[in-house]
Amino acid sequence: MIDLKLLRASPDQVRAALARRGDASTTRLLDELEALDIRRRALTGQLDQLKAERNAASQVDARLMKEKGELPADVRAQRKQLGDRIAGLDVELRDLESELERKALFVPNLPLPELPDGDASHNRIVRTWGQPAPAGGPPHWDIGAALGILDLARGAKLAGSGFPVFVGAGARLVRALINFMLELHTREHGYVEVEPPFLVRREIMTGTGQLPKFADDAYHTEPDDLFLVPTAEVPVTNLLRDEIVDGATLPRGYVAYTPCFRREAGAAGKDTRGLLRVHQFDKVELVRFSRAAASAAEHERLTGHAEEVLRRLELPYRVVLLAAGDLGFASAKTYDLEVWSPGVGAWLECSSSSTFTDFQARRANIRCRPQPGSKPEFVHTLNASGVALPRTIAALLETHRQPDGAVVLPPALAPYAGTERLAAAGDG
């Protein structure tokens, strides 16, 4: 949630920042918020004045009671009228504040100044790693089928398109990747592992920004009013919801594996084939909490942790800084990690590393106390996929496929998979 005090104090600054996102509806929303805020302040002023009048009248009434033993009828009528006005304005103010908060939940985060302007065509490649193989060769869906480790047809039979089934060595590969990443992030990068619920309450989805704007993209259960997590970011960030943590414990990092569930899987076409866009997928997520002064450095550190996964898997990748018009709703700055997929002939996003400044912390009420006895302040939240499995598996199969059709696993992964080589049954 944006800082409404900042909107009130520096409306031009807020408008200019959000205009960089290129969404005209945000300007209209800011107009509505400012009008509501002006009305709220006017109502608050009226209420304060009326309550001051009531306090002064109570002193007069005390003297009248002492002198006459009761209040005259006309005085009682005046006091009732005053009380009714206060009660009515209290209700009006509560309704107005609810409307203000409801609308504020639809306002996206402010892009940081260093982002390029423009849409996705203005995204900037920050760095690359590895030597991409020439485009060509079989795509991962053909490799997986030939090895007998990926069954898209049976997945479609079970749940429809976008629900792949991994079989045999494919299922072991998924488990190996998850364990490899969890071990890397906990033992070498210092994260605390969490196993969160895969279903969360409505307010938890609101805290990280998935609701209310993106309700149609989520899987929702009735009558429990619970949501299947679209990412572990949602439950893990909200671990500290409504808490004030000791500033001395920051920064801190958590890592979690969860399956992820997303109804929106993209438009039909070539970009949806195989593992490119699915409704259910596995992901290891990194979440960090920081004080404001350290969050920029924490973002670079976080991004490096996700990059290390791809380096150890020996997958060429590039880091892309998103332009302001391509940012996610809650993000203030995002790096996409795109892995090279030679069979598909494209760079595939397998991780987004984002800083949310205090946007999520305001929605989830996550604060820290910098010093004992000091005033609490909102923390900064950050997260990155560390990494998502489907596109990583796609790139791994296509990159490490050998001329004989087998796939050689990188040394960092092989011990977790229990083999150095994936081959079709009977091929050795």
Q: Is residue 325 part of a domain?
A: yes
Which of 55, 71, 104 is the C-terminal boundary of a domain?
A: 104
Bridge pairing between strands 366-369 and 243-246: parallel
Residues 100 and 128 in one domain: no
Average of pLDDT values for 35-46?
A: 96
Contact 4, 67 (CB under 8 A): no
Residues 54 and 125 in one domain: no
Residue 265 pLDDT exceeds 90: no
Mean pLDDT of the residues in the chain: 95
Question: What is the predicted pLDDT for the residue at 286?
Answer: 99
Question: What is the predicted pLDDT for the residue at 30?
Answer: 96
The token duo for 246 is 């000791």
Residue with tokens 């409704």: 279
Average of pLDDT values for 7-23?
A: 96
Residue 425 pLDDT exceeds 90: no
Residue 132 pLDDT exceeds 70: yes
Q: Is residue 206 part of a domain?
A: yes
Residue with tokens 């992964």: 413
Q: Is 54 exposed, middle or buried (0-12, 13-18, 19+ CB in 10 A)?
A: middle
From 97, 308, 349, 377, active-site residue: 349
- Helix H or strand E segment including 54: helix 24-68
Q: Is residue 155 part of a domain?
A: yes
Q: Is residue 267 part of a domain?
A: yes
Three-class DSSP category at 59: helix
**What is the distance between the alpha carbons of residues 51 and 85, in angstroms, rounded to a whole number?**
10
From 21, 262, 362, 367, active-site residue: 262
The token duo for 193 is 């592992």
Residues 19 and 139 in one domain: no
Residues 45 and 189 in one domain: no
CA dihedral 121, 123, 127, 131 (to 10 degrees): -30
Residues 133 and 26 in one domain: no
Would you tell me how many other CB atoms lie within 10 Å of the CB of residue 195?
10
**Residue 70: partners with Cβ closer than 8 Å, 6 or more residues away:** none
| Preceding amide of 259 cis, omega within 30 | no
CATH code, domain carrying 221: 3.30.930.10
**What is the distance between the alpha carbons of residues 244 and 90, in angstroms, rounded to a whole number?**
29
| Preceding amide of 223 cis, omega within 30 | yes
Residues 214 and 153 in one domain: yes
Residues 21 and 86 in one domain: yes
Percentage of the residues of the chain whose pLDDT score is greater than 90: 89
Residues 97 and 130 in one domain: no
277 classed as catalytic: yes
Would you tell me how many other CB atoms lie within 10 Å of the CB of residue 407?
21
From 288, 367, 391, 401, active-site residue: 391
* Cα-based angle 345, 350, 355 (whole degrees, multiple of 5): 135
Q: How many CA atoms lie within 13 A of 276 on its CB side?
A: 20
Average of pLDDT values for 222-241?
A: 98
Average of pLDDT values for 155-171?
A: 97
Q: pLDDT per residue over 305-328, tens digit each?
A: 999 999 999 999 999 999 999 999
From 277, 288, 363, 367, active-site residue: 277
| Closest among 259, 283, 250 to 379, alpha carbons compared | 250
pTM of the model: 0.93
Which of 60, 77, 104 is the C-terminal boundary of a domain?
A: 104
Q: Is residue 110 part of a domain?
A: no
Residues 151 and 272 in one domain: yes
Residue 70 pLDDT exceeds 90: no
Do you know the residue count of the chain? 428
Residues 142 and 210 in one domain: yes
The token duo for 180 is 């490899």
Residue 424's pLDDT band, with cuts at 50, 70 and 90, is confident
Q: Is residue 113 part of a domain?
A: no
Residue 267 pLDDT exceeds 50: no
Q: pLDDT per residue over 73-126, tens digit each?
A: 888 798 889 999 999 999 999 999 999 999 999 999 999 999 999 999 999 999
The three-state DSSP-derived secondary structure of 109-138 is CCCCCCCCCCCHHHCEEEEEECCCCCCCCC
Residue 264's pLDDT band, with cuts at 50, 70 and 90, is confident
**What is the distance between the alpha carbons of residues 83 and 352, in angstroms, rounded to a whole number?**
55
Residues 244 and 374 in one domain: yes
Buried b (16+ CB within 10 A) or exposed e, 2-32: bbbeebeeeeeebeebbbbbeeeebeebbee
Question: What is the predicted pLDDT for the residue at 59?
Answer: 83
Q: pLDDT per residue over 382-399, tens digit each?
A: 999 999 999 999 999 999
Please give the distance of CA 24 from its chain centroid, rounded to a whole number. Answer: 23
Phi and psi at residue 48, to the nearest 5°: -60, -40
Residue 60's pLDDT band, with cuts at 50, 70 and 90, is confident
| Closest among 275, 239, 249, 201 to 383, alpha carbons compared | 239
| Closest among 200, 202, 206, 199 to 363, alpha carbons compared | 206
Residue 276 pLDDT exceeds 60: yes
Structural domain count of the chain:
2
Residue 67's pLDDT band, with cuts at 50, 70 and 90, is confident
Q: Is residue 114 part of a domain?
A: no
Residue 39 pLDDT exceeds 70: yes
352 classed as catalytic: yes
From 352, 353, 354, 385, active-site residue: 352
**What is the distance between the alpha carbons of residues 419 and 394, in angstroms, rounded to a whole number?**
18
Question: What is the predicted pLDDT for the residue at 416?
Answer: 99
Question: What is the predicted pLDDT for the residue at 427?
Answer: 58
Residue with tokens 């200019």: 16
CATH code, domain carrying 74: 1.10.287.40
Residue with tokens 């006017």: 42
Q: Which domain holds residue 179?
A: 120-422
Q: Is residue 109 part of a domain?
A: no
Which of 42, 77, 104 is the C-terminal boundary of a domain?
A: 104
349 classed as catalytic: yes
Residues 288 and 350 in one domain: yes
The token duo for 394 is 């796609």
Residue with tokens 């000791």: 246
Q: Which residue spans within 91-211 are E strands per DSSP?
A: 124-129, 150-151, 165-166, 192-194, 199-201
- Helix H or strand E segment including 285: strand 280-290
Between 22-26, 61-65, 371-375, the lowest mean confidence (pLDDT) is in 61-65
